[in-house]
Amino acid sequence: MPSAASRPDERAPADRGDSLVVAISSRALFDLGDSHALFEREGVEAFAQHQIEREDELLAPGIAFPLVQKLLHLNRAAPAAPRVEVILLSRNSADTGLRIFNSIEHYGLDIARAAFTRGAPTSPYVHAFGADLFLSANPDSVAQALRAGIAAATILPSKAPQRQSDQVRIAFDGDAVLFGDESEEVSESAGIDAFHRHETERAREPLSGGPFRGFLDALHRLQQAFPSEDAPIRTALVTARSAPAHKRVILTLRDWGVRIDEALFLGGRPKGPFLEAFGADIFFDDSVANVESARRHVATGHVPRRKRPAT
């Protein structure tokens, strides 16, 4: 009999090769607004009773449901390609979480691994599962995952329409998301002219990697498993930068050896209409103003910036 360590379904995260692993909270995957409001209002016992009484009632899809559905579809589209795995993380107990798994089964989502913590934080399990991305409706959980070096975003309420295309379309802000926030700090502290001088002088110096660089790398590896002219994943950089600050971005991506399919240098224009034109399934940005513009058009994840220590 093979040992537990040798069983394929029990590999350590480091052995997952080129697979893309996405961890998602139950509130990002399904619409649990009413249940969560009950939890906040009346506590864990009332919440548990509510879930058990409605165990056979299906949950409606949440904001990130279409993205998860499309990502899992990649496994059926190309079984030989690096696998996409979605992990469910929930602060329900296993008992009250049965309604969630019933809904997963109904919608045909290939989600087998999960962690139910009965009110305890789920963020420690994001790293344990080897996640490349964590999506949650809880800002505190997102902040903890980011501190652990994992790409993470708070999924915000949105009335964005579901995209009909089977292609997965993911858009990123640049500074403080794909790249570090050093250049953005210059803009905020010294103004846009100083920012442009800073970027022009350092055009051939690669930008540092931001919290989503690892996730972009994982997407790039997955893209390479498909013919470039028929790839089921398309990415976009949607940034407030404009010339001459564009050059450093382009050369940085070239230095990293990763692929971005579309790059929009908007020079401060509102991002929402451009994201709708791109057809983004999700967009990641650190700016609250940009997030508010974006979520009127597409599903949006807020990537909070880490506070720098006072000097």
For 181-184, the CB contacts below 8 A with 24+ separation are 181/210, 181/286, 181/305, 182/207, 182/208, 183/207, 183/245, 183/248
Catalytic residue among 173, 175, 285, 286: 173
| Residue (of 138, 152, 139) closest to 39 by Cα position | 138
Instruction: Report CA Rg, the chain.
Output: 20
Measured CA to CA in angstroms, residue 124 lies from 26, 115, 228, 298 at distances of 16, 10, 36, 29
Q: Do residues 58 and 67 lie in contact, with contact meaning Cβ atoms separated by under 8 Å? A: no
- Per the document, the length of the chain is 311
Beta carbons of 74 and 83 less than 8 angstroms apart:
no
Whole-angstrom CA distances from 109 to 20, 82, 145 are 16, 18, 24
* Token pair of 182 as six digits: 């050093």
Helical segments of the chain, H only: 26-29, 33-42, 44-53, 65-77, 98-106, 123-128, 139-147, 182-190, 192-201, 213-223, 246-256, 272-278, 288-294
Catalytic residue at 173?
A: yes
Beta strands in 81-163 (DSSP E): 84-90, 114-116, 133-136, 151-155
Q: Which residue numbers are catalytic?
A: 173
